[in-house]
Structure 1
Amino acid sequence: MGLYTLTDLLDERSATRAFAPAVERAGEAVTYRGLRDLAHESAAALAAQGVRKGDRVALLLPRSHEALGWLFGSAHLGAVAVIVHESLKQQQVGHIVRHSGARLVVADQRARKLLTGSETPVLSSEADRRTGGGPPPSPRIIGQDLAALIYTSGSTGLPKGVMVTHANLLAGARIVADYLGLTVDDRTLSLLPWSFDAGLNQVLATFWAGGTVVIASSAYAPEICRTLAAARITGLAGVPPLWESLIRRPSPFLDIELPHLRYVSNTGGSLRASTVDSIRRAHPRTQIYLMYGLTEAFRSTYLRPELIDRYPGSIGQAIPDTEIMVLNESGAPCRPGEVGELVHRGPTVTAGYWNDLQATTRVFRPHPSPVPGSTPEYVVHSGDCVRADSDGFLYYVGRMDEQFKSRGIRVNPSEIESALLHSGLLSEAVVFAEADENGEDRIIAAVVPKETDSFETGQLASYTRASLPTHQQPARFHVATEFPRTSSGKTDRATVKRRLQ
């Protein structure tokens, strides 16, 4: 059976893995057959509210099997799911609901207060969805139809809705399940929000393999560790702040035995080499996958575990069925060692930004070297600067829109951040420029020390003077105990900079 849509995926797993657990939370399990039935009930409830193919349905729900029922129920009707993270504030939620043109919002009682003043109808997720009449008819849906809008947090301005097709979601699920080697025996711990492309991909990749998604009930590091052990978790995906919290007290992550943990993966930013080493020493049988991706194309690159020592600091090479190009400002391929923009080509390239033709035209562009006579193909210009070595392995340099000049020399903040973290004194760093009284850029470094009580900025200043050239020297350090986070758990760089400027 060919799998072209989310409905195809759930129907196939319901047939082949009917009574296997699809989702677990706090000891409660829902089988694949049970999840399909829940999706049918959700589709019937949505249809009763007038939802039809192409309508946007905003899902303002915590991670749960019920939320997945609404997601797959929307897909059954050909509607477009807009997954909204419940940690967002009222203004952000209101923007997403209005901008997406949602016909309906599905929300639980706790989240409904975020919709105060909204004119969009709200359907209670606690309402009885049982109809007894079976699922409503499903319209003709193909892989190129929209399945979801994923709103990016963005570095500036209001979030943009990335248009994701059924084909995008299934291609991402297949590719990631393949290179992680997922099977029916895998039990994936879901910590990342499903409004984050990596979090949703983690769920669908597990379903592609017929495994089980275990929903974490807490983001508190000691509780995560208890779940890893008690639920016999085989895979865990995270972002750098999560890994930093897991290797620090009071987390027991580095001290406990986790014999079932087959792999861990990182996305959403570079992981410190010392953090990788700590995880490897504590769990030598656990494979570490370092990944890079962007919402507009899900995953782009990955570094296989056995290559971490050979290519330290690399974000790896293109994921399967994908081409990654490094292009200069003229659109020509860069030479090894030359910094250029990462450009992604492949089946996970999404369909653009919802109701934003200008941004779509800027980011989604025609392939720079099309085959004559072939169907036009679009690629994603990431806005990220990278370089490739002579073996074709890629290294992240920084955001193009965060570059600045110091003493006349172009600087990428990530270069300085990497050097600061290499000092061993910090767990996080955010570097940016601000204009001095003469209009010249000066470098500001916001830092989170490993040991707050004993940290002194003089130590860090001495280290930077010895290890960084003059044009990369921070003029000022700002010390924080923690950084604000985006809804996906990544460091909220825009907020850090705004608070200090």
Structure 2
Amino acid sequence: MDFLIWHLLRESVRRAPDKEALVHNSERLTYAQVARRTAGLATALRAAGMRRLDRVGIYLEASVPQVISIFGISRGEGVYVPINALLHAEQVMHIACDCGMKALITTPAKLMELAEVLPRIPSLEFLVVAGDGDTPKTQLPVYRFDSLCATDPPAVWKESSIEKNLAAILYTSGSTGKPKGVMLSHANVVAGSRIVSDYLEITEHERILAVLPFSFDAGMNQLMTAFERGGTLVLTNFTFAREIVQMLLKEHITGLAGVPTLWSLLAQCNSTLSKQPLPDLRYITNTGGAMPQAVLKVLRAALPATKIFLMYGLTEAFRSTYLPPEELDRRPTSMGKAIPDTEILVLNEHGGLCKPGEIGELVHRGPTVSLGYWNRPEDTARALRPNPLLPPEMGDCEKVCYSGDLVKVDKDGFLYFVGRRDTMIKSSGFRISPTEVEEVLFQSGKLRGAAVIGVPDDVLGQSIKAFVVPLDGDPLDAEALRDHCAEKMPRYMVPKFVEVLSELPKTSSGKVDYPALRRREGL
């Protein structure tokens, strides 16, 4: 019976041990090779002191050791904590201290960057170093990753975990404050993998290119779906969009997931996407925010035979909705409907169901609802609440996830994103969706990036400020951009201020960092 994360790997080994499982640069591993290294690492981590539910950080760039670490920690009954490789020492220290991290797997170079903060992480008991290079002096025991992977596992493997056990902690930035750790059980991760594999129709023939970090739920889901179905996962580190296009061609990639900022890069002429036929690319998916319609138009023209899935999810509940590709022409701005085995509720402020067209909060019900936030019971209680639609006789038997996202549903049951409850702009008495304003800005055809926030206004309550990034090399007339907006929407929705930036600030998962923009304005 398969109910733990590492069981996904075990079953693919059983079905096709010699199938190519993992690719990174010149490294190519079969499922049997991945399983062998995973078993060795799990055994060695236990010998080094990792116990059931101990938290182990993974601070690595996309690499074979990163994948082996996830499954090795899982098999050893620890809890893996993937840390985005772009984070700095103080941010890593916050995560390690917050979750009481017992061990950390990283590289010599990154360990050097962490040298000053390591003594300030009291829970750390040992370090594992992957890759070549000298390690800085430290009071902690340091093990070499390759040596641990070469450890012989016991003849009989004993495990006591069940699917409800904590498996992973993913740190999410949220809208304010320091990152919070979202707790995922084995059941959450396995259910998410099987559900997404189902509607994307992923098979053992898939070759999935992983460009999203595994610290981002959508990135981790790519790993799990590939290994669950016995496909091949190709890892890449890229600087320019054209490098992704080259990898799509070279590795005959069939599936690619991205966030809006990535698709905006690929939609640029210099990405070469429109110049290269990609006959193997069966599907692409978007998550992490609405894809601008102008970008979607370019992608559809460049990839006429590729299915495009627009998806929505939140770390606290993994995946929530998707729009079937056949609905793109009819509903290009829709988030779609609930993923399989999931119910999406749109609730008003009184806990009742909203009518079609009425704006309410998206509430997620299903097997991917997380366990809550690590060591934050009050935050957990706000996000995970009893299902208000169950008969009172059932008591508090089920938690649903309140997303904080405002949506509406049409008469056919398709959902549409309106905005974040904590980012909606109130101006002249009107509630304004930043997403809607951003979409009109993109329609100008002059931008490759746009983000809108509300700023204090003594008369209006809030004014709209737009931060925009022009297309490469194109001069931008801010007043002409405001005139374009005035032609497309009511005056109260037109940005009062337009600031041109060379780049928008991004979170570690590639999303636009709206809190950073607010801080820029002193908010």
TM-score by length of 2: 0.93
What SS class does the counterpart of residue 333 from structure 1 fall into?
coil
1:113 equivalent to 2:112? Answer yes
Q: State whether residues 484 and 496 of structure 1, in contact with CA within 8 Å, keep that contact through their aligned partners in structure 2.
A: yes
Indicate the RMSD between aligned Cα atoms, in angstroms.
1.6
Q: Which amino acid aligns with 1:443?
A: I
More displaced stretch, 113-122 vs 151-160 = 113-122
Within-5 A mapping of 1:73-88: 73-88=72-87
Query: What's the % identity of the aligned pairs?
Result: 42
- Determine the structure 2 residue equivalent to 1:139: 159
- Distance (whole Å) between structure 2 residues aligned to residue 342 and residue 449 of structure 1: 33
Q: Pick from 466, 470, 480: which aligns with 2:487?
A: 466
Quick one: distance in 1 between partners of 2:479 and 2:173?
Answer: 35
The alpha carbon displacement at 1:110 in A equals: 1.7
User: Alignment partner for residue 124 of structure 1, among 107, 129, 135?
Assistant: 129
Give the match for residue 282 of structure 1. 302
Range that drifts further, 261-270 or 432-441: 432-441
- Give CA deviations for 1:215-269 in whole Å, capped at 9, x if unaligned: 1132421111111001000011000111111121321011111110011111011
In the TM superposition, residue 192 of structure 1 has moved relative to its aligned partner by 0.2
The answer to whether the 8 Å contact 1:222/1:252 transfers is: yes
Runs of 4+ in 1 over 4 A off after TM superposition: none
How many positions carry a matched residue from both structures?
500
Q: TM-score, normalised by structure 1?
A: 0.97
Query: Is this contact kept in 1: 2:40–2:153, CA < 8 A?
Result: no
Give the letter for the 1:477 counterpart.
Answer: V
Taking the aligned partners of 1:187 and 1:236, their CA distance within structure 2 comes to 9
> Which residues of structure 1 form unaligned runs of 5+?
none
- Establish whether residue 303 from structure 1 lines up as the match of residue 302 from structure 2: no
Per the alignment, residue 275 of structure 2 pairs with 255
Structure 1 Cα separation of the partners of residues 241 and 460 of structure 2: 44
Structure 1 position 333, deviation (Å) = 0.3
Q: What amino acid is aligned across from residue 357 of structure 1 in structure 2?
A: P
Alignment of 1:96-245 (within 5 A): 96-116=95-115, 117-119=117-119, 120=124, 121-126=126-131, 127=144, 128-129=147-148, 130-134=150-154, 137-245=157-265
Q: CA deviation at 1:450?
A: 2.4
Contact 2:294 2:442 in 1 (8 A): no
Partner residue in 2 for 1:395: 416
Of stretches 213-222 and 196-205 in structure 1, the one that deviates more from structure 2 is 213-222
Question: Structure 2 CA distance, aligned partners of 1:24 and 1:451?
Answer: 33
**Match of 1:453?**
474
Is 1:265–2:273 an aligned residue pair?
Answer: no
Q: Distance in 1 between matches of 2:460 and 2:278?
A: 54
User: Distance between the aligned counterparts of 1:61 and 1:450, measured in 2?
Assistant: 33
Task: Please tell me whether residue 335 in structure 1 is matched to residue 334 in structure 2.
Answer: no
The alpha carbon displacement at 1:16 in A equals: 0.8
Q: Alignment partner of 2:453: what SS?
A: strand
Corresponding residue for 1:90?
Answer: 89
Distance 2:484 2:171 in 1: 40
Q: Check 1:54–1:136 CA distance in 2 against 1; reply closer, same or farther (3 A cut).
A: farther
Matched, 1:52 2:51: yes
Indicate the SS of the match to 1:222.
helix
Match of 1:384 in 2: 405
Name which of 334, 344, 359 aligns with 2:379: 359
Q: Distance in 1 between matches of 2:58 and 2:367?
A: 26
Tell me by how many angstroms 1:135 deviates. 7.2
Unpaired runs of 5+ residues, structure 2, are 132-143
**1:443-493 C-alpha deviation (Å, 9 max, x unpaired):** 211111225533211211111222222322221100112112111111112
Give 1:421's match in structure 2, choosing from 423, 439, 442.
Answer: 442
| Code of the aligned partner of 1:9 | L
Instruction: Report what 1:21 is aligned to.
Output: 20
Give the partner amino acid of 2:37: L
Secondary structure at the counterpart of residue 226 of structure 2:
helix
Counterpart Cα distance in 2 of 1:323 and 1:148:
24
Q: Which moved more, 1:26-35 or 1:169-178?
A: 26-35
In structure 2, the residue matched to 1:499 is 520
Structure 2 Cα separation of the partners of residues 468 and 377 of structure 1: 42
Asked whether the equivalents of residues 333 and 416 of structure 2 are also in contact (C-alpha less than 8 Å), the reply is yes
Return 423-432 or 474-483, whichever deviates more.
423-432
| 1:310–1:439 distance in 2 versus 1, CA, 3 Å | closer
Q: Could you tell me which residue of structure 2 aligns to residue 293 of structure 1?
A: 313
> Aligned AA for 1:485?
K
Distance 1:264 1:439 in 2: 42
Contact 2:428 2:460 in 1 (8 A): no
Distance 1:328 1:356 in 2: 26
Q: State the alpha-carbon separation in 1 of the partners of residues 165 and 444 from structure 2.
A: 49
Q: Is the 8 A contact 1:44 1:135 kept in 2?
A: no
Please tell me the residue identity of whatever aligns with 2:336. G
Give 1:139 shift: 2.7
Corresponding position of 1:315: 335
For 1:81, the aligned partner's letter is Y
C-alpha distance in 2, partners of 1:322/1:219? 37
Shift of 1:131: 2.4
